[in-house]
Chains A and B, each alone.
Chain A
Amino acid sequence: MKKLVTKEDSCTACGTCELVCSKTYFKEENREKACIRIETANGKSKITTCTQCGECIDLCPAEAIYRDKNGVVRIKKNLCAGCFACVGFCPEAAMFHHSDYIEPYKCIACGLCAKECPSGAISIEE
């Protein structure tokens, strides 16, 4: 199963991953539109992104969420009814939404952010 794995101890919270992600996904550098979120508290980083657990698959009333052949959980936008149940029920709070869009979005383990991460805090695991 392909997924993005995180090492929070190594994260410097530089935010590069967020910008790479939103640029890739939405052609815009805007951390509010990233599929990965970095927060810091008491000098520690917290990285929120999809673990590909698949909880959202059975939850989706439109059967718009599925696991692809690489084990990555993906959204079929054309079927999505935009209810955001998956956003509210994600155990990792890693299903995101932005009011510019009527469908949610999530990490698909493309790995572009990991390539750019200067501290090795994120990487793709096959």
Chain B
Amino acid sequence: MNVEKIKAAHKLLAEFKYTPGKLDKGYANKSLYINVSENKIEAKPVTEMMKEKFTGGRGFGLWYLWNAVTPETKWNDPENEIIISPGPVGGITQYPGAGKSLVVSLSPLTGSVMDSNVGGHFGPLLKFSGWDALELQGKAEKDVVIFIDGNAGIIRIEEAPEEALDSHLLVEQLYEIYADTPEDKRNISVVSTGAAAEHILYGMLNFSLYDTRRKAVRLKQAGRGGIGTVLRDKKVKAIVVKFKGVKGNLNNPADFAALAKTGIKMHKEIHAGDDKQCQMRVRGTTYLVKIMNDYDLLPVCNFKYGSHPDGNKIAAPKWIENFNIGKADGCWYGCTLSCSKVICDYELKTGPYKGQKVVTDAPEYETIAGVGSNCGIFDPQFIIEANFYCDTYGVDTISFGTTTAFLMECYENGIINRQITGGLDLRFGNQDAAMELLHQMARGEGFGRIAGLGVRKCKELFVREYGAGAAFLNDIGMEVKGLEYAEYVSKESLVQQGGFGMANKGPQHDEAWLIFMDMVNNQLPTFENKAEALHYFPMFRTWLGLVGLCKLPWNDIVPENNAQTDEPAKIPEHVQNYVDIFNAVTGKNIDKKEMILQSERVYNFQKVFNIKMGFGTREHDKIPYRSVGPVTVEEYESRQDRYDSQLKELLGMETEGKSTEEKLKALREYREAQYEKLVDAVYERRGWTPNGIPKLETLQKLGIDLPEVVEVVQKSL
């Protein structure tokens, strides 16, 4: 790589100088605004109102975006923004999982507001550089790189024509350019995407960290909703932050002793418990594959089935064989859960980098299930390769997996054919075809461009261009609001159907994963129970994204006595830890109730934001029947005993002598009605109208009744 040549081609477009300051109890109290249309860089105050109502992280992102866009703004208008914010707790090093950033933007997939959660070092380094959030607006004329030097207090917009687009190359080039010495690389983090983000709607963002032991750049993903596509549309190649001097007290916490005590308690808990529990330190999230397969929850062939005899071929033992397991594989300092696994010396077998050996991030559960089992593929080598290329091309593995699975089912049903796919034989299990589709996305060619539109737009296109039946496509197309489903089969858990369907941004499980509580444990028998769970858990999990925390240390490790607590599913001790570290950093005095209230404010605000953009009502919480029950005869018959006995027990139906079609119909009517009842119950619990609009009294009670918010609601009530 000729770094000197690349660097020499940089042209300074704008420069801004500031005095780096100390953080105050978790906040920098200013945010950085950059407009690449006008080459404008400025500091904005973070107000007390913002901290009070929105807390930080996703809350700040939503507030800035709300003020930047109108109901007419589209994702590719210059007014659209990308906001990155780590939250007040973000950047502490003592408690596991505290390096998260939340990214907010208008989504190319949904047209509405999107939030995506990501690790890596960028968020903390941004904050230590003096900024609670980075607000990026406008569209550059030519490709640019934004550089933030948090020690010197310099921000630059530089024209950057020569760098590669693909992240694994681009990010390495940028480390070479901006690091003063090889040792300086650890102080840098880069936000980037890849070549495919120019051609598809689910382009994602990579957030890097430098792996000092393996001497390699590592990438974590803000995967959901196409924010990488927005970055490329803005002609921003990358955002680079450099900050030297990470220490344990840079947040200037109100009570360092409490922070240290809570963090060490957690390290000890992981040290003692992880080997006996999930073995995250060794296996990462791959441990989930076997469990999901055993409980009929692992998506197979576009969510038709929940398990497959070959599931064991992509389960944890196969991954461990491929991993280079380190003892410090966290994506931020102090994350002893250490799930961010690595594969070294992987020789690429396809595509433009064929034959090269790379250090690559290991696939996580969602990727294994998405590009693997859901596409009928059970080959770890393929999954590693697809994961690498998704990462470097800037492709969300979840949307890619769910879309490809959908296309494969369309192909097998003759809705599309070889002529339409440009020769790709998109049968389930055809990994060569799936890989070629991915390479086409990066080249902006062929059927890859169509696949890159995502499930919703593919459905519309197939109906319009190829005369496909809309009803079947709507049944099997696994998307809600335009976002592709995350990789869990929700058919036997009504609560999880709701968790996906009513999630603000679309069907991602980061709001609620309640399958065991509901389906297996049968702990949520009434609609009231179900609604309460679909209130508490989404609010609790939203909170993690307000303050800058990862979900995994909440419940992928539990205290030894957790089972004996009154509400084991909530992991009460860990929730108390979160209250304690929030108070230790900010000096506030919240409790478990106030924590949920902080989330409810932001959650309801996001809901109203959806309404402002023309979405957010009940019709947008409709879900595809594939996520509710068996669509086809083959699906029904594959689990006939289960469905027959449900028809007998729940509906008193005599199933003997009935055709599968009759039974399918009866089951469907029942399940669809159940979903509507669930929606009624959840809306009521959340203080919304039956059409899904937050009531004025709800907004008032929560203190999020800002005039502009009330105005949107009043118009739609």
Contact = CB atoms under 8 A, between A and B. Distances in A.
B262 to A, nearest CB: 10
Given A61-B328, A61-B334, A85-B334, A102 B267 contact: no
A84 B328 contact: no
A99 B42 CA distance: 37
A111 B328 CA distance: 31
Most chain B CB atoms below 10 A, which of A59, A84, A99, A102: A84
B326 A58 contact: yes
A88 B93 contact: no
Interface string B209-238: 000110000000000000000000000000
A82 interface: yes
Contact of A81 (B248, B256, B271): B248
B248 A83 contact: yes
Interface string B262-273: 011111101100
A84 B213 contact: no
B701 interface: no
B257 A82 contact: no
Given A81-B247, A82-B249, A83-B333, 5 more contacts: A84-B264, A87-B267, A89-B267, A97-B264, A102-B247
Contacts of A58: 326-328
B246 interface: yes
Interface string A44-86: 0000000000000011111100000000000000001111110
Contacts of B263: 83-84, 88
Contacts of A84: 94, 248, 260, 263-264, 267, 334
A58 B327 CA distance: 6
Contact of A87 (B249, B256, B264, B326): B264
Contact of B334 (A83, A97, A102): A83
Nearest to A89: B271
B330 interface: yes
A59 B270 contact: no
B336 A102 contact: no
Contacts of B266: 88
Interface residues of A, number: 19
Contacts of B328: 58-61, 85
Report the 6 A-B pairs with minimum CB-CB distance, sorted nearest first: A82-B248, A88-B267, A83-B334, A99-B257, A83-B93, A81-B333
B260 A63 contact: no
A99 B94 CA distance: 12
Contacts of A97: 260, 264
Contacts of B212: 62-63
B555 to A, nearest CB: 19
B280 to A, nearest CB: 14
Contact of A88 (B247, B249, B270, B333): B270
B504 to A, nearest CB: 33
A89 B333 contact: no
Interface string B578-613: 000000000000000000000000000000000000
A54 B334 CA distance: 18
13 contacts: A58-B326, A60-B328, A63-B213, A82-B247, A83-B93, A83-B263, A84-B94, A84-B260, A85-B328, A88-B265, A88-B336, A89-B268, A97-B260
Interface string A76-119: 00001111110111000000010100110000000000000000
A87 B270 CA distance: 12
A60 B327 CA distance: 8
A102 B252 CA distance: 11
Contacts of A82: 93-94, 247-249
Interface of B: 93-94, 186, 212-213, 246-249, 256-257, 260-261, 263-268, 270-271, 326-328, 330, 333-336
B333 A62 contact: yes
Contact of B94 (A59, A60, A83, A89): A83
Contacts of A60: 328
Contacts, number: 74
Contacts of A83: 93-94, 248, 263, 333-334
A55 B604 CA distance: 47
B271 A102 contact: no
Most chain B CB atoms below 10 A, which of A58, A62, A85: A85
A102 B246 CA distance: 11
Contacts of A87: 264, 267
A93 B93 CA distance: 20
A122 B592 CA distance: 48
A88 B268 contact: yes
Nearest to A62: B333
Contacts of B335: 61
A102 B327 contact: no
A85 B247 CA distance: 14
Contacts of A59: 327-328, 336
Given A81-B247, A88-B268, A99 B334 contact: no
A81 B327 contact: no
Nearest to A82: B248
B267 A61 contact: no
Nearest to B186: A62
Contacts of B261: 99
B202 to A, nearest CB: 31
A105 B383 CA distance: 43
Nearest to B259: A99
A73 B270 CA distance: 23
A81 B243 CA distance: 13
B93 A89 contact: no
Interface in A11-69: 58-63
Contacts of B270: 88
A102 B213 contact: no
A50 B433 CA distance: 56
Contacts of A99: 256-257, 260-261
B334 A81 contact: yes
A16 B326 CA distance: 39
Given A58-B327, A82-B94, A88-B270, A102 B264 contact: no
A57 B249 CA distance: 22
A99 to B, nearest CB: 3
A121 B336 CA distance: 35
Contacts of A81: 93, 246-248, 333-334
Contacts of B265: 88
A80 B213 CA distance: 15
B411 to A, nearest CB: 45
A33 to B, nearest CB: 14
A92 to B, nearest CB: 12
A102 B330 contact: no
Nearest to B271: A89
Given A81-B246, A102-B248, A88 B326 contact: no
Nearest to B183: A79
A102 B327 CA distance: 22
Contacts of B260: 84, 97, 99
A80 B261 CA distance: 18
B252 to A, nearest CB: 11
A63 B247 CA distance: 13
A105 to B, nearest CB: 13
A88 B330 CA distance: 15
B213 A88 contact: no
Nearest to B213: A63
A61 B330 contact: yes
A85 B248 contact: no
A59 B96 CA distance: 13
A102 B333 contact: no
